[in-house]
A and B are shown apart, each in its own frame.
Chain A
């Protein structure tokens, strides 16, 4: 089914706006800077507040009808989490704006441009589950903006729940939900063992809802405008819009809001189009998958549309790799980073990812041509961590082996087409 509203609408990082039915979450105005409270309320109208028990139940059901899924990467249905936590005693609510993925900017852009929509969503989520407080854990680059927005609301006596803002841990694995809880409690962003689920026992032992900030922004709009409105863009199986970060070999790297299901090639077009011939795209994030650029161009950007390419929408990353860059060298560099970002709690992740990264380096340097050991180790890290970090790294490497067959042969023959680096990796930090 072709997505409705797939013409898209863009607020680029440079503030350029293009016409269309979107954006919903990002401001329509090209003016830079965060939208203040007055302008926010003028655009969206007042947020629901002081909800009775019956209305809360109805709203959670409405979120279920909307088909809203988590926008942090895992894609779990939002209503299921809300209902599970609402059923518990003295629950806690955390808005997750950690965005530890170095290539992704969509949560930072959302918070920097529409801080009140995120706050609306966090406060509403707290009301829906019966929590007295919403804790927002946000990337350090948007901390000040979120503080100012929260202060604006306090002065206006807008919210009935307490809003607390914390600076997130600046680590790749720090955004994992249980790691966020641990970060708030102990100042250490390490994932916890599951079970128990956070919806059973999280922050301070209480049933805890952790939603990505974009998910909460959608929630705030579903409460205002209904499930039917939400579903008026996107596909029937994956309704709504989503934020995507487009980077790499495109003319205007940016954060866009697209209807889910917009063809991948069209999304690249909204980012100014390719700036060079493309060979591959990294979709989802650093735990995502490489796909051949030509194979993906006509595909809907949706989980269903990308599934048989072995990819998904993940956290909305689309990184374009030009034909003159080396996918193996890129992957080796990212995997080295992912290995260093292991929280270090689980042996298979700590030692396995380091081993895989080193082997990939040897392959990239042409010192090894046999992939047997690499494949063996990929099999030995899958599903063997306390969180999905090792699985994500293994997925990335497997997709590279699928997509970059030609490069593998070149490396085996002793040469590499690699020119420069496309995927951003922060400088190493002491552990």
Chain B
């Protein structure tokens, strides 16, 4: 699977406590700053990491990590199917 997923990871900085689980689970997309708080790239999540990103967002103990849908996913368009929105 190639292309981006049309989704982006976003941290709610007020909710985030800096536990760092997300950076451990998804080092491809999340790094920590010098004080242990997650930095997301702001780039669309690649399609091949979408499932991991979704799982990581779900696992945040403060519910501070969100997967935002920017638009419908690029690939996997079947005739007759509705474009999917939401997660």
Contact = CB atoms under 8 A, between A and B. Distances in A.
Given A347-B18, A384-B39, A193 B33 contact: no
B13 interface: yes
A376 B35 CA distance: 12
B16 interface: yes
A345 B16 CA distance: 9
Given A380-B39, A384-B39, A347 B34 contact: no
B interface: dominant SS: loop
B3 interface: no
A192 interface: yes
Interface residues of B, number: 14
Nearest to A383: B42
Contacts, number: 46
Contacts of A67: none
**Which range contains the number of A residues in contact with the other chain?**
10 to 19
- The listed residue with most A CB atoms (<10 A of its CB), out of B12, B15, B34, B39, is B34
A171 to B, nearest CB: 16
A347 B37 CA distance: 6
B34 to A, nearest CB: 6
A227 B14 CA distance: 40
Contacts of A348: 13, 33, 35, 37
Nearest to A346: B13
Contacts of A84: none
A193 B35 contact: no
Contacts of B36: 347
B12 to A, nearest CB: 5
A351 interface: yes
A377 B34 contact: yes
Interface of B: 11-18, 33-37, 39
Interface of A: 191-193, 345-349, 351-352, 355, 376-377, 380, 384-386
